[in-house]
Each structure stands twice: as C-alpha cells, then as structure tokens.
A and B are shown apart, each in its own frame.
Chain A
Amino acid sequence: MTSDNDRRRGLLARLRERPAARSRGRRRLGAAVRLFAALMLAGGAYTVFAPGAQAQDNPPLTGAAAEGKALFDVSCVTCHGRNAQGVEGRGPSLIGVGAASVEFQVSSGRMPLARQEAQAHRKPPLFNDEQTRQLAQYIQELGGGPIVPEGDNLREDGNIASGGELFRINCSQCHAFGGGGGALSSGKFAPSLRPATDRQIYAAMLSGPQNMPVFGDNQLRPEQKADIIAYIQETLKHDQDPGGFNLGRYGPSTEGLAIFLVGIVALVFASLWIAGKS
C-alpha cells in the first residue's frame, strides 16, 4: 500500500513522520501490525533465552551430564527418584541443590547412603573424581544451584588469624575448638574436619549438608571462606601440638581420664613399691 515516494525516503523517516492524512481503516490496520510485531518479538526473545517448556521431558544435556545421568539412574534413583525429584520417606529432591552439594556428598563417600539413619557417615567414596564431576554436572544442569570454584587449593591468600576468628564464631559451636566434631541431638553430629579437603569444606559451607546451616556468599564472602579453610587446613590439621600428645583434643574430659589412668595408676604402683620396701 506504500507509494514509490515513501519507499525512497527510507524506513526511519517514514516512522518518524506522521503521514498527513490517513484513512481510519489504515491506522487501525497499522496499529494491529505493530502490536503483532511487538508480541512476536517478545515471544521470540522468550523462546530464545528462556528454557523451553519441553526441557523437562527431553533435557538438552551436555556429554558429561548425560554420563552423570547414566550413573544417577543406576546408583541414586532408588532414593532420589526419577529426574531427582525425590522419593517420599527415602530421599529429598535434588532440584536446585547444585553441583556443590553433589560434590560434597559423593566425594566424601556419604552418598550413596549405606542405610537410612540419623545422618550419613563419611566412608571411602564409591565414585572416582571423574564420575563425581559427571554426577555434579547432571544435577547442576537439572536444577542449577551453588557451584564450588575451580581448583584444588581454595585457601590461597587466606588469612589464618581472621580465619581462626571466623571459625570460632561460626564453626566451633558444632565442630569444636579443635575441629574434631561434636554431638547434636538425636544421633546427629557435626563430623570431624580432619579428613576434609579444601573443596569439601567449601562445598559444605555453600550447600549446608545435613544439619549444617548454609553459609552463602552473603554470610561469608569467598575470601572469608578461604580464610576459614586456611585456618582449618594449616592450623588445626598441621598443628604440631606444642604441649605434647593432645589426648584427642576432646577437652577436659580426656584430661580427667588421663589423670586417673596415668597419674593415679602410676603413683599407686609407686606407693605399693615404696611400702613394699621395708
């Protein structure tokens, strides 16, 4: 319907310049076309950028995630269900827990669970690093969630002194002053930090496994997490215990045991010996 003259003046000029006189029918038609074009643009952009509704049925998994799904369907599906949506009374949904959670639970051997009990125990891991990564990738692509940063050393530039202060404020209530762990209610417990790697500690802070609260990046910034990891790994685990044998760092309870089992026993034998020499 446009004239040759209009076509020559270019699109922008045509849009900017209101035609002097148009019929009512043409104006209505033009508005309808513009509305249609805007809707098409918004819808098109949505379909391009937003995950499609059909993703649930036919996930566009990457190679690693597909491998992870294969492992998941063999080892995890019993409790966590198809597509990790959880099974009532057996295992929670894993949608949104993120790769950090998978990495912590699987690499520390807690998952797969040996049996249903108050809390999972650390044991030799069932999956190797590669398989753990694949499982993590699958869960990550399934529902998103927190991810542990790259690298095995997550304590670089960590300040031990501030890490110690943060540890005593945030961690020692449950993991105890020496990182040896402590009891919680009804058979639950805070595990010992001794066998934990940098990545596991980081993953635990991010994902809050079992009874642990989540320490997201808003509560503890990544550099504060590095401080805490540095304190745990370099002071609590590599401390030479300047005072001698540390009696397990259980506090005064083992000290009390030691004074009876070592001190009193030794001295009772000494008194038997001295009284015997008459």
Chain B
Amino acid sequence: MKRRKFDLAATPGKAAVGVDDRFQVATPLRRLLNKVFPDHWSFLLGEIALFSFIVLLLTGVFLTFFFEPAMTEVVYDGSYAPLQGTPMSAAYASSLDISFDVRGGLVMRQMHHWSALLFMAAIVVHMLRVFFTGAFRKPRETNWIIGSLLFWVGFLAGFTGYSLPDDGLSGTGLRIASAIMLSIPVIGSWLTSSIFGGEFPGTIIISRFFIAHVLLIPGLLVALISVHLGLVFKQKHTQWPGPGRTNGNVVGERMFPRYALKQGGFFMVVFGVIALMGGLFQINPIWLFGPYEAWVVSAASQPDWYVMFLDGSTRLMPAWEIPIPIGDGYVIPPLFWPTVVLPGILVGLSTMYPFLEARHLKDRKSHNLLQRPRDVPARTAVGAMAVSFYVVLTLSGANDVIADKFQISLNAMTWAGRIGLLVVPPLAYYITYRLCLGLQQHDREVLAHGVETGIIRRLPDGRFVEVHQPLSSANGHADGHGELEYVGWVVPKKMNRLGALGPAVRGFFYPIEKPVEAPVSPGHPPVEARPEREEIGSGESRR
C-alpha cells in the first residue's frame, strides 16, 4: 500500500483555502488584519477597561452559578461560625456560601469586585487621556459621547452589583438610593414604590437588581463597547504628530500579527493583575457587615470609589430645604440638589463637551492628530478644574475615615470640602494654565537657542556663559543657526537625547530609538562622545 504523503507545512494554507472557498472571507479579513494602529503607551489605557470587562463577564458567569437572588428569609448554617443561626435573606446566605463553601468562590468574588473597580478606573484614566490630548474632536464626538455613557452605565452596573449580596453595607446603599429617588419632586414617591415594589426594602428589589445586573446592563455595556470599538476601526485611531505623520495618514503597526500579539499579551497582564489583587487584597468583607437590617448602619459606610463623589456632594450640601406653598405645602429636600441635579449637570457637560469646545473655537475641521496638553492651555486647565472638582467630592465622600485616621475634626473636614469645592478648581485652572504656558515657552526657547549643555565657558572679558547646542544648522541667522518650527511633538531638552552621551541604554519602558546624530554647527565645537562608562560599584569592592 502506498503511503499518502502528508505535507505539514502546507496544512494551514490548505485549511485557509478551504475556509475561503466556503465563506469568501479572504478579502475583508485581509483588510482587517492589515489595519494599521499607531503605537503609544497611552493608547493602551482603554484596553485595560476592555480587558477588565472581559474578566468581569467571566467571573460574573461563575458567580451566577451559585448566587440565589431572593430575599426569602433563611437561617444560615454554613461554615462561617460567627453568623451561624442568624436569620438572613437567601441572597446574603448564598453570597456567604460563595465566599466560604464554594471552592474558589471567594477569589472569584474578589476578582469580580476588583475588576469592577479597575473597569471604572481605567475608563476614567482613558477618558482623561482622550480629553487632554484632544482626541474627542471632530470626527470622534460620537465616540466621546458613547465613552462617557459607558462610565454612567458602568456606574449603574457597579451599584446594582454591590447591592446584590444584601449585606449591611449594600442595604445601607440601597436605603440611600431610595432616599435619592424619593427626593425627586412630584414623581419621587411613585418612582421609589415602583422600583422597590412598595415601601423600602420590600421583597423584590434583589431579584430586580439581579436581572438588571446580569442581563440588561451588561447587554447595554456590550452594545456600547462594540459600537465604541467599531467606531475606532471605522474612523481610525488618532496619532501623535511626528516625522511622517500627518492628519491624513496612520503610521503604526499592522493589526496582525504584531499588534494582535501585543494585545493578547496585554490581556494576560491585565488578567494577572486582577487575579493577584483578587488573591492578595480582601475586598468587601460581607461577612463582617452581617445581614442587612434597617436598624444596622455601620460607621465608614461608603459606596465604591466611582459613586463616592455623590456621597461627598451629599455630605457637603448645607441643609437647605425649599418649601413651596402649593396645596398643603411641598418641600424640595436638600438631598435633591447634590444627588439628582449635580449628576444630571455632570452627564450633560461631560457628553456635550466636544460640541461646546468646537462652538467656542469655531472649529469645523476634522482632526486626526493629537495635541500635547501644553499646547491647548485652556482645555488642559478646564480638565484640571474638572478633575480637582471630582477629587474634592470623592475625598469628601470618605471624609469620616480621613477625619478619624488623621485625627482631624469631622466638622473641619466638611467645611474644608465646602470651601475647597469652590476654591480649588479655579486655583487648579490658573496654575495649570500658567504651567502650560511655561512649558510652551521653554519648548520655543530650546528650538530657538538650543539645548543647555552644562558647559560653562569664560569669555575673554571675564563673563561666564553656558554653551548651548543648537538643534539646527546655520541658515543665515546672525547668531549662526536657524530657528526651528514647533511641530507639536516632544522637543529634546537633554544632550543625551541628541546622542551626546554615547549609545542609548536599551529601553525597558520606552521605545528603543537610535539616537539622532548630534547636529554640528560651525559656531561651536561638536560635542564629543562620552568615554566608555566605568562600572559603578560600592567603594569597598574597588580595592
């Protein structure tokens, strides 16, 4: 019998041909795989959010296998001794079982919670990158809106999620949420009783939050994330200005193989960091909070960090009630302003910012090149103002913990927050604006006069001057070199950036770039390469 010849090397090609014969995917797939992405570390921040969302889905599915979303009362008889014999809801009992009796349940719960925090943190950091570099400008306003909606939907996902275990902390949060809904004029009481199925806490809220948390909100998140990524593909990624990069091209790496491999590796890193945090750091010890009872409220009851700014705004709000003499009299409670009106304004301002800025600058052009934050001082300063506003509110949300641990009066913390909320953002605006202008000026100065070499020369008349290394050769200027145009990218400010200090050290965090040849100017002697470096050790071993 004749053996069939099997050519291993041809197998993938044959298989691909087979697939293409049947589905005709080669042409569209080639376009996709050849797609070019610009490479910069700051473009990977959004991926952290994407990958932690994948971890959220994976760990969340595991948790649903064991979680019982019901408020029926049971008596706990699991393995956590300090709660044995305590009556509690089935939801809380099953959360305790996940933590103590399901193999690997606790690390899964903790990974789920940590990745939720990471998801929101990465969204914020990614949003700051997009904001400060002007990546939201036309044509990408839609993606900016989707991105900010992702924050608010993620906010809801987080809130419904940490309400599910029905422990003391989550019940306290639900009580506050019901109070916030009650504070809305006219519709408040209808809204609350329709969501809770009657008076707080009722018997249905956990089941409703469960279906919102595992189906409705994740579905919305998946849809928004898909559109978000689809638009990045369609509109192409922005890039930094630099050699060969224009508003009309994209310089970078092809999607396949290098970019895809890098992204795969980065997913592993994100997963690893979440797994490490889930295994090493305890998060939300629900067993210490006990089952939720309306009369149990612990000190230091705070929401997760991305909700904390609302807690802070509530703590800072003075107790101003607005009585309205209609009918039997009506009162708008002070809670309404910091928890309904303020987030409403924040949603509106954050989503509409691209249009506000374009309108202000009368800018109708499409922008595919990013801007350095220093080059747009007004926007950078507005961003610093927004960040400081949010930080003051978030710190005020934890002001009792800060007051206790740093031994400050809680009243002083509240007043510091109230005054800080009004004073710090304008101050941040002013300081940031001046910093931007200063950095700009220094860039222009280096382009005009060259890099400081650190070499001090004494002139015949006794003066001392520092030798500057110009960045361009002479073209007829009086001082022997020409002024360079600023192109919106990093200006070298140290001699070792110009190749003056010998071969560049292999980069660990920065791209390995060949040092640029030091430009030689006739007016100044060329800077000589540094001699071979000596090994640096302790003085002892030299002997």
A residues lining the B interface (CB < 8 Å): 118, 160-161, 163-165, 168-169, 172-178, 180-187, 189-190, 231, 235-236, 239, 241-247, 249-260, 262-264, 266-278
Contacts and interface: CB of A to CB of B under 8 A. Distances in A.
A255 B253 contact: no
A251 B401 contact: yes
A275 B41 contact: yes
Contact of B509 (A178, A267, A272): A272
A274 B302 contact: no
Interface of B: 39-45, 47-48, 81-86, 99-100, 106, 110, 114, 117-118, 121-122, 125, 168-169, 253, 262, 265-266, 269-270, 273-274, 277, 279-285, 288-290, 293, 295-306, 308, 394, 397-398, 400-405, 407-412, 507-512
Nearest to B125: A264
Contact of A256 (B43, B117, B125, B405): B117
Contacts of A253: 300, 302, 305, 308, 397-398, 401-402
B118 A264 contact: yes
Contacts of B114: 259, 263
Q: What 3 pairs between A and B have smallest CB-CB spacing?
A: A256-B305, A182-B299, A243-B282
Nearest to B258: A278
B509 A249 contact: no
A276 B507 contact: yes
10 contacts: A242-B99, A243-B110, A243-B283, A252-B169, A252-B304, A253-B398, A263-B273, A275-B43, A276-B41, A278-B511
A244 B273 contact: no
B47 to A, nearest CB: 8
A168 B282 contact: no
Contacts of B295: 169
Given A231-B82, A243-B283, 5 more contacts: A164-B86, A187-B408, A258-B281, A259-B114, A270-B266
A276 B308 contact: no
Contact of B282 (A177, A247, A257, A268): A247
A251 B301 contact: yes
A177 B300 contact: yes
Contacts of B293: 168-169
A160 B82 contact: yes
A278 B281 contact: no
Nearest to B265: A274
B86 A165 contact: yes
A267 B48 contact: yes
Contacts of B168: 168, 172, 177
A243 B285 contact: yes
Contacts of A172: 168, 296-299
A246 B121 CA distance: 20
Contact of A187 (B269, B282, B409): B409
Contacts of A269: 509
A258 B40 CA distance: 26
B224 to A, nearest CB: 22
B299 A262 contact: no
A271 B48 CA distance: 9
A274 B269 CA distance: 10
A269 B400 CA distance: 33
A272 B410 CA distance: 40
Contacts of A163: 82
A252 B409 contact: no
A260 B281 CA distance: 13
Nearest to B162: A252
A34 B43 CA distance: 108
A276 B299 contact: no
Nearest to B48: A267
Given A243-B106, A269-B509, A258 B277 contact: yes
